[in-house]
């Protein structure tokens, strides 16, 4: 039986004992230590591949998917127009956004408390794109870790230049694709195609963003890589406050693995089993495959993105030395130290309660949201007028936002007082889909309905006989002597 034990990365730069005092990606002089993670193989890797295919398909096809004519997802910050699952939202829907944001944060907290960084390893776009797209391209062109290392230190021959050129050209191509995908989530595919097809001089800003996004993604995936998770991502930093002894993480089982020790030359598995040693043969494969360069045997660390590569690596070793799989596995501290199964803790219960309440509130806000949003305010600087018949007139500015994907004819009605209400300039007000309509409205009342020169108006906003909402405003007139009324 021979098991390779030469997977350990070069140790001259890193002392694996003082791992908490430094980053594995930085050497003693503070220079970047480039990682060459070995290609993972195994059942968890394949599961992640299948999930990544689905996620990449959703990500790249998302901007083209329409629900009721609206994009699946659109975050048009420039025009302040947002579409989520085909429903159009406006900046005026701030309460819905605030509740959705709270719901999102709470879901992250409860999810992290229960399942650790499952998001990072399986669904985060940074991990999916880095490990399932760019890393695979790198393996395909430059080979596995040892070949990549050899290529890096090799002289600049024609073969090396060709490989590097090809790799970076493909990286740049995919960065362009990803940058444009992001842009189409912001401005929509129609505008994106217009930028591509039109005279470039008309779209300097759009083209600048295309170039900027391409370069940012290229720098991220070609150079910055795992440092985005370690230095930039806030989630990686604050997740340590959410983990507890029942959180499921990728973990090494020291009860089984220690005392670790190399499988000595000529040592039989039977002999090893009878000796006082653990299952870990200190082969270093779990470290060699790690895309963040850490040693999972040191315990849960901030850099660990729970990618499962070390589980597969160790399982392959356990298969070869005929020991049960799972020396590195998904498990909580309690499950590993005490053999306890997954436990639903009061903390999770509390988070779940908040999560349920927020989800119910969000559903209520979305389903009771009016199709239109109306503001009805007195025209700035306009004073009241007295008509020839002695009635009082006030001029107002009406703004109606149509949040739907169909044109809406709108009628206004005074709800609480007798009087006249005229929309100026149009015989029928129709608010185009997903647009804001603005016009002036004249309201005329009898002076007798005013109390101390004022009245409160309730105006119903109707469409096809259905009242959509009621808005309130003030009506101003002269202060009349009650004896003259
Ligand atoms: S935990 Fe597994 S993969 Fe890692 S060094 Fe030990 S035996 Fe090798
Ligand atoms: S320690 Fe394991 S799970 Fe964590 S990042 Fe490294 S390989 Fe992935």
- What CATH number corresponds to the domain at position 456? 2.60.40.10
CA angle 125, 128, 134 (to 5 degrees): 110
Instruction: List the structure tokens of 120.
Output: 């990072």
Q: Is 284 in the pocket of ligand 1 (CB under 6 A)?
A: yes
C-alpha closest to that of 347 among 167, 135, 113: 113
Number of helices and strands (H, E) in the chain? 17, 16
Domain termination residue (choose one: 369, 401, 435): 369
**Separation in Å, CA 402 to CA 71, 81, 383, 429:** 17, 12, 30, 12
pLDDT at res. 158: 96
Among the bound ligands, the one closest to the CA of 5 = 1
66: left (phi over 0), alpha (psi -120 to 50) or beta: beta
Q: What's the gap between Cα 361 and its chain centre?
A: 21
Residue nearest to atom 8 of ligand 1 (CA): 283
Domain ranges, residue 41: 1-369
Whether 280 and 399 map to the same domain: the answer is no
Q: How many domains does the chain have?
A: 2
Indicate whether residue 289 lines ligand 1 (CB < 6 A). Answer: no
From the list 252, 237, 235, 245, the residue with the least C-alpha distance to 302 is 237
- Same domain (yes/no): 32, 87: yes
DSSP string for 60-111: HHGGG-EETTEESEEEETTTTEEEETTEEE-TT-HHHHHHHHHHHHHHHHHH
- Same domain for 122 and 208, yes or no, is yes
| Residue that terminates a domain, selected from 314, 339, 369 | 369
Ligand number, closest to the Cα atom of 251: 2
What are the C-alpha distances in Å from 21 to residues 14, 359, 442? 11, 42, 73
Q: Residues with Cβ within 6 A of ligand 2?
A: 250, 289-292, 294, 296, 304-310
195 plus 311 within the same structural domain: yes
What span, in angstroms and rounded, lies between the C-alpha atoms of 375 and 412? 12
CA distance 216 to 312: 32
Domain co-membership, 228 together with 282: yes
- Look at ligand 1, atom 2, and give the residue with the nearest C-alpha: 314
Average pLDDT for the chain? 86
Residue 330's Cβ-count burial label (10 Å; 0-12, 13-18, 19+) is middle
CA distances from 242 to 110, 248, 432 (A): 8, 12, 47
Based on the fold, state whether residues 58 and 201 are members of the same structural domain.
Answer: yes
CA 51 to chain centre: 16
Residue 475 contacts residue 456 (beta carbons within 8 Å): yes
**Amino acid 268: pLDDT:** 67
Q: Give 287's DSSP letter.
A: H
Rg (CA), the chain: 32
| Residues of the chain falling short of pLDDT 50 | 1-6, 10-16, 485
pLDDT at 21: 66
Please give the C-alpha separations between residue 72 and each of 1, 58, 65, 155, 451, in angstroms, as whole numbers.
55, 10, 6, 49, 51
Give CA–CA dist 408/289, Å, rounded: 58
Nearest atom, ligand 1, residue 328 CA? 1
Is residue 363 located within the same domain as residue 390?
Answer: no
Q: What is the pLDDT of residues 427-463, one digit of tens each?
A: 889 999 878 899 999 999 998 888 888 899 999 999 9
CA distance 69 to 253: 52
Q: What is the pLDDT of residue 146?
A: 95
Question: Within this chain, do residues 349 and 389 fall inside the same structural domain, yes or no?
Answer: no
207 in the same domain as 277: yes
Any idea which ligand is nearest the CA of 313? 1
Same domain, 267 and 308: yes
Burial track 81-102 (b if 16+ CB lie within 10 A, e otherwise): bbbbebbbbbeebeebbebbeb
Query: 86 C-alpha vs ligand 1 centroid, how far in Å?
Result: 48
Task: Count CB-CB contacts under 10 A for residue 374.
Answer: 20
**Which ligand is the nearest neighbour of the Cα of 16?**
1
Neighbours of 205 (CB within 10 A): 10
Specify the pLDDT at position 149: 95
Query: By C-alpha distance, which of 355, 357, 368 is closest to 93?
Result: 368
Per-position b or e across 46-64, b if 16+ CB within 10 A of its CB: eebeeebeebeeebeebbe
> How far is Cα 219 from Cα 324, in angstroms, rounded to an integer?
42
| Ligand 1 pocket residue status of 220, Cβ below 6 Å | no
Segments of 279-391 assigned E as strands: 328-331, 372-378, 385-386
Q: Residues near 227 by Cβ (< 8 Å), separated by ≥ 6?
A: 25
- The C-alpha atoms of residue 298 and residue 33 are separated, in whole angstroms, by 20
Last residue of a domain, one of 303, 337, 369: 369
Q: Give the angle 221-226-232 at the CA atoms, nearest 5°.
A: 100
Cα gap 257→252, rounded to integer Å: 8
Distance 268 CA to ligand 1 centre (A): 18
- 246 alpha carbon to ligand 1 midpoint, in Å? 23
| Tokens coding 432 | 């185009």
Residue 314: how many other CB atoms lie within 10 Å: 29
Residue pLDDT, tens place only, 59-98 = 999 888 888 778 888 888 777 778 877 777 877 788 888 8
Do residues 402 and 475 share a domain? Answer: yes
User: Is residue 395 located within the same domain as residue 362?
Assistant: no
């Amino acid at each position: 039986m021979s098991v390779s034990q030469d997977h350990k990365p070069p140790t001259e730069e890193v002392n694996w004992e003082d791992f908490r005092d430094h980053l594995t990606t930085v050497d003693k002089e503070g220079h970047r230590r480039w990682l060459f993670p070995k290609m993972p193989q195994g059942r968890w890797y394949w599961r992640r591949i299948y999930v990544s295919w689905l996620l990449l398909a959703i990500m790249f096809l998302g901007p083209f998917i329409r629900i009721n004519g609206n994009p699946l997802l659109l975050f048009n910050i420039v025009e302040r127009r947002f579409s989520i699952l085909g429903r159009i939202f406006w900046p005026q829907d701030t309460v819905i956004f605030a509740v959705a944001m709270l719901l999102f944060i709470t879901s992250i907290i409860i999810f992290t408390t229960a399942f650790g960084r499952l998001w990072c390893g399986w669904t985060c776009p940074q991990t999916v794109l880095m490990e399932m797209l760019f890393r695979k391209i790198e393996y395909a062109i430059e080979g596995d870790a040892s070949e990549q290392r050899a290529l890096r230190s090799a002289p600049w021959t024609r073969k090396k230049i060709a490989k590097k050129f090809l790799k970076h050209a493909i990286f740049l191509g995919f960065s362009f694709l990803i940058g444009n995908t992001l842009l189409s989530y912001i401005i929509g595919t129609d505008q994106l195609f217009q930028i591509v097809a039109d005279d470039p001089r008309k779209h300097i800003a759009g083209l600048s963003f295309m170039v900027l996004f391409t370069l940012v993604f290229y720098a991220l995936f070609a150079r910055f890589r795992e440092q985005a998770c370690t230095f930039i991502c806030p989630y990686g930093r604050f997740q340590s406050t959410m983990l507890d002894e029942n959180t499921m993480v990728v973990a090494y089982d020291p009860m089984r693995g220690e005392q670790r020790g190399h499988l000595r030359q000529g040592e039989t598995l039977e002999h090893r089993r009878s000796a006082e040693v653990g299952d870990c043969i200190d082969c270093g494969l779990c470290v060699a495959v790690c895309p963040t360069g850490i040693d999972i045997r040191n315990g849960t660390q901030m850099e660990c993105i729970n990618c499962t590569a070390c589980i597969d690596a160790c399982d392959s070793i356990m298969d070869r030395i005929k020991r049960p799989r799972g020396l590195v596995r998904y498990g909580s501290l309690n499950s590993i130290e005490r053999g306890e199964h997954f436990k639903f803790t009061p903390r999770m219960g509390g988070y779940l309660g908040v999560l349920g309440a927020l989800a119910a509130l969000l559903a209520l806000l979305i389903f009771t949201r009016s199709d239109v949003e109306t503001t009805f305010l007195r025209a700035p600087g306009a004073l009241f007028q007295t008509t020839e018949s002695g009635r009082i007139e006030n001029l107002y500015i009406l703004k109606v936002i149509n949040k739907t994907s169909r044109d809406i004819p709108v009628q206004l009605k005074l709800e609480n007082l007798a009087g006249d209400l005229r929309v100026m300039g149009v015989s029928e007000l129709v608010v185009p889909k997903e647009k804001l309509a603005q016009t002036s409205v004249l309201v005329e009342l009898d002076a007798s309905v005013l109390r101390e020169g004022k009245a409160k108006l309730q105006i119903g906003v109707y469409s096809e006989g259905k009242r959509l909402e009621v808005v309130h405003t003030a009506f101003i007139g002269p202060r009349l002597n009650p004896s003259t009324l």
